[in-house]
Structure 1
Amino acid sequence: MDTVTLGVTTHPTGDWITQQARNPLLQLGDRAHPFRFLNRDRDAKLPQAFDTVFAGNGTQVLKATPQAPKMNAFAERWTRTARAECTDRMLIFGERHLRTVLDQYATHYNTTRAHRSLDLHTPGDDPTAIPFPAGRIRRRKILGGLLNEYHRAS
């Protein structure tokens, strides 16, 4: 799974947001083609240029229906999960620290965290594999022990 770094700012502008849309597409290069849809809200900070960036990649931009907050549920759910499991339990010392924490958490979330929608499997699990009884288990601390990942010891 690719890791894409996004920017953080306290005062986003339309130009800044448009550049943030370009960054992941540039970082992913040819691997960005599988993205068919982008769901977004109708925030006034998102200019037409934002949509144009994704349209140039062949991605269809779907705007949320006005006054339908449940349409943005996936993004809101990730934000709520990241806050509840990570940032609400830490003292963030600045932008650089926030970037580091969110990058590590996003990697954990997208690779080794169990998801209910996947029947408590991780995104990297092979759904056809039958797990053998585990011998020794090794714990790996993430974010100083705030999160833990467990793997079979080799």
Structure 2
Amino acid sequence: MVGVLRHPGFDTVFTAAGIDVLRTPPQAPRANAYAERWVGTVRRECTDRILIAGERHLASVLTEYTTHYNDHRPHRSLDQRPPNPPPQVVDLNATRVQRRPTIGGLINEYTQAA
């Protein structure tokens, strides 16, 4: 394929580990729906709303957003719970709530105040 970089040993590593390598066509959004969903969510909620100053800044923002996405952000398919929920169950009627801005104030997370 023209324009696609492939390393011949890359597929060998996965095949040796018992992983099937599936080639997806370039620029085919339905070929890898999970990756496309993730990229779309990151763009809508994060990178489209912030000016990225460079590669290090982008890596920092994506790391922080990934933590927010997995540990705090509600997911509709998980009954509004995050993939890695906090271990304790909190009665929000009996406690105070504390706001914590993330990604430079772009997103706010709410937790129980100590």
Shared fold (TM-score greater than 0.5)? yes
Higher RCO, 1 vs 2 (CA within 8 Å, ≥6 residues apart)? 1
Separation of aligned partners in 1, 2:66 and 2:43: 12
Separation of aligned partners in 2, 1:71 and 1:84: 21
Provide structure 2 residue ranges, at least 5 long, that are not aligned to the other structure.
none
Superposed CA deviations along residues 39-61 of structure 1, whole A, max 9, x for unmatched, are: xxxx8323332222323333332
Larger Rg: 2
| Map of 2:5 onto structure 1 | 45
Q: How many residues align?
A: 110
| Map of 1:132 onto structure 2 | 91
* 1:100 alignment partner, one of 40, 52, 60: 60
Separation of aligned partners in 1, 2:45 and 2:27: 28
Cα displacement (A) at 1:104? 0.8
Counterpart of 2:51 in 1: which secondary structure? coil
Cα displacement (A) at 1:153? 1.5
* 1:84 alignment partner, one of 3, 22, 44: 44
RMSD, aligned α-carbons: 2.6
Counterpart of 2:82 in 1: which secondary structure? coil
**What TM-score, normalized to structure 1?**
0.61
**What TM-score, normalized to structure 2?**
0.79
| Map of 1:112 onto structure 2 | 72
Does residue 54 of the first structure (1) align with residue 30 of the second (2)? Answer: no
Does residue 121 of the first structure (1) align with residue 81 of the second (2)? Answer: yes
Q: How does 1:14-25 map to 2 (within 5 A)?
A: none
User: 2:73 is matched by which residue type in structure 1?
Assistant: R
Identity within the alignment, %: 51
User: 1:136 is matched by which residue type in structure 2?
Assistant: R
Q: Call closer, same or farther: CA 1:54–1:131 in 2, change over 3 Å.
A: same
User: 1:70 is matched by which residue type in structure 2?
Assistant: R
